[in-house]
Chain A
Amino acid sequence: MSAGIRKLVICGGGIESYTLAHRLKKHFSDSLSITLIESGNVSEPACVSVPPAAVNFFTSQGVSEDVLVGEAGGLYRTAVLLKSVNQGKDFYLPFSPPGFMLHARDFQHFYVWAHKKGLAHSYDEFSLSSMSAKRLKFLPASKDAGSLLSTLNHGYTLDVTRLKDYLRSKFQSMGGSIVDGEVSSVSLDADGCIACLDVHGIDDSSVVGDFYIDCSGEDNSNLSSALNASFLSERKSLPVDSIIRSVSSCSGSYRPFSSISLQGAGYIIEQSAQYKKQSDFVYNSGELSDEEAVNLFSEYMRTPPSDLKKLSGQSKRRNQFWVKNCIFMGASSGFLQDPFMGTYSLSQSSILRFISLFPSAKESAPLAEEYNRLTHLEYDCVVDFHSLLFRVFGLKSANARSDSFLGEAVSDRLKSRVDMFNHTGRVPFREGDPISQDLWVSTLLGSGLVPRAYDILVEGIEPKWIADQLKKMFQMIDGASAKMPYLKDYIAQGSAV
Chain B
Amino acid sequence: MVKQSIVIVGGGTAGWMAAAALSNKLNPYLYDVTLIESEKIGTVGVGEATVPHLRYFNDSLGIDERDFIARTNATYKLGIEFVDWGSIGSSYVHPFGLFGRPQGDISFHHYWVKAHKLGAALPITDYSVGAVSAEQEKFSYPTDDPDSLASKFSYAFHIDASLYAGYLKEYAKSKSVKRREGKIEAVKTNEEGDIESLTLDDGTKINGDFFVDCSGFRSLLLGQTLNVDFESWAHWLPCDRAVAVPSERSGAPIPYTKATAKSAGWQWRIPLQSRIGNGLVYCSKYLSDEDAEKTLLSGLDGAPLADLNFLRFRAGRRRCSWAKNCVAVGLSGGFLEPLESTSIYLIQVAITKLLDYFPGMQDSSYLRQQFNAEMEDEYKKIRDFLILHYVATNRDDSDFWRYIRSMELPESLERKMRLFCERGVVEQYVKGMFLEPSWVAVYLGQGIVPENYHPAVDSMSEDELVQSLDRLKTEVQHHVELMSSHADSLNFYASEESFKSWPPGAMSLYGVFS
In Å, the complex CA distance between A352 and B419 comes to 17
Contacts of B373 in A (CB 8 A): 428
- Tell me whether chain B's interface is mostly helix, strand or loop, or mixed: loop
Whether A457 contacts B431 by the Cβ 8 Å rule is no
State which residues 314-372 of B face A: CB under 8 Å. 355, 357-363, 365-367, 369-370
Determine which of A27, A361, A431 lies in contact with B104 in the assembled complex, contact meaning CB atoms within 8 Å: A27
Whether B27 contacts A461 by the Cβ 8 Å rule is yes
Cβ-based interface call for B429 (8 A):
yes
Contacts of B31 in A (CB 8 A): 460
Determine which of B60, B425, B428, B455 lies in contact with A4 in the assembled complex, contact meaning CB atoms within 8 Å: B455
Whether B425 contacts A367 by the Cβ 8 Å rule is yes
Contacts of B252 in A (CB 8 A): none
Whether A356 contacts B105 by the Cβ 8 Å rule is yes
CB-based nearest B residue for A356: B105
Complex interface: stretch among A28-36, A331-339, A387-395: A28-36
In Å, the complex CA distance between A355 and B456 comes to 9
CB-based nearest A residue for B452: A360
CB within 8 Å for A460 and B459 given contacts A104-B60, A454-B361: no
In Å, the complex CA distance between A367 and B427 comes to 10
Whether B455 contacts A358 by the Cβ 8 Å rule is yes
Whether A31 contacts B455 by the Cβ 8 Å rule is yes
Closest Cβ–Cβ distance, residue A80 to chain B (whole Å) = 24
Determine which of A29, A369, A423 lies in contact with B362 in the assembled complex, contact meaning CB atoms within 8 Å: A423
Whether B419 contacts A370 by the Cβ 8 Å rule is yes
Whether B455 contacts A366 by the Cβ 8 Å rule is no
Cβ-based interface call for B454 (8 A):
yes
Interface residues on B, range: 35 or more
State which residues 357-408 of A face B: CB under 8 Å. 357-361, 364, 366-367, 369-370, 374
Closest Cβ–Cβ distance, residue A452 to chain B (whole Å) = 6
Q: What 1/0 flags go to B103-126 for Cβ under 8 Å of A?
A: 011100000000000000000000
Determine which of B29, B60, B361, B425 lies in contact with A356 in the assembled complex, contact meaning CB atoms within 8 Å: B425
Contacts of A455 in B (CB 8 A): 358
Contacts of B60 in A (CB 8 A): 104
Cβ-based interface call for B415 (8 A):
yes
CB-based nearest B residue for A361: B452
Whether A352 contacts B30 by the Cβ 8 Å rule is no
CB within 8 Å for A459 and B1 given contacts A30-B459, A31-B455, A424-B366: yes
Whether B104 contacts A357 by the Cβ 8 Å rule is no
CB within 8 Å for A357 and B357 given contacts A27-B104, A420-B370, A460-B26: no
Contacts of B357 in A (CB 8 A): 424, 426
In Å, the complex CA distance between A74 and B248 comes to 69
CB within 8 Å for A366 and B422 given contacts A355-B456, A360-B452, A452-B362: yes
CB within 8 Å for A460 and B452 given contacts A31-B459, A424-B357: no
Cβ-based interface call for A419 (8 A):
yes
Whether A457 contacts B362 by the Cβ 8 Å rule is no
Contacts of A367 in B (CB 8 A): 419, 422-423, 425
State which residues 58-88 of A face B: CB under 8 Å. 60
Interface residues on A, range: 35 or more
Cβ-based interface call for A496 (8 A):
no
Contacts of B455 in A (CB 8 A): 1, 4-5, 28, 31-32, 358-360
Closest Cβ–Cβ distance, residue A303 to chain B (whole Å) = 43
In Å, the complex CA distance between A419 and B369 comes to 12
In Å, the complex CA distance between A455 and B422 comes to 45
Whether A366 contacts B419 by the Cβ 8 Å rule is yes
Contacts of B106 in A (CB 8 A): 27
Whether B367 contacts A424 by the Cβ 8 Å rule is yes
In Å, the complex CA distance between A424 and B365 comes to 10
Whether A1 contacts B425 by the Cβ 8 Å rule is no
Cβ-based interface call for B458 (8 A):
yes
Q: What 1/0 flags go to B418-441 for Cβ under 8 Å of A?
A: 110011010111110000000000
State which residues 10-64 of B face A: CB under 8 Å. 25-27, 29-31, 60
Cβ-based interface call for A456 (8 A):
yes
In Å, the complex CA distance between A452 and B451 comes to 53
Whether A431 contacts B430 by the Cβ 8 Å rule is yes
Contacts of A459 in B (CB 8 A): 1, 27, 30, 360-361
Cβ-based interface call for A435 (8 A):
no
Cβ-based interface call for A288 (8 A):
no
Contacts of B25 in A (CB 8 A): 457
CB-based nearest A residue for B377: A431
Whether B26 contacts A28 by the Cβ 8 Å rule is no
Closest Cβ–Cβ distance, residue A54 to chain B (whole Å) = 15
Whether B366 contacts A420 by the Cβ 8 Å rule is yes
10 additional contacts (CB under 8 A) given A355-B456, A366-B419 = A356-B425, A356-B428, A357-B423, A367-B423, A367-B425, A370-B415, A423-B362, A424-B367, A426-B357, A457-B27
Q: What are 18 A-B pairs at a CB distance below 8 A? A: A4-B458, A5-B455, A27-B459, A28-B458, A31-B455, A355-B456, A360-B451, A420-B369, A423-B366, A428-B373, A431-B430, A452-B362, A456-B361, A457-B27, A459-B30, A459-B360, A460-B26, A460-B29
Q: What is the interface of chain A, defined by CB distance below 8 A to chain B?
A: 1, 4-5, 26-32, 60, 104, 352, 355-361, 364, 366-367, 369-370, 374, 419-420, 423-424, 426, 428-429, 431, 452-457, 459-461
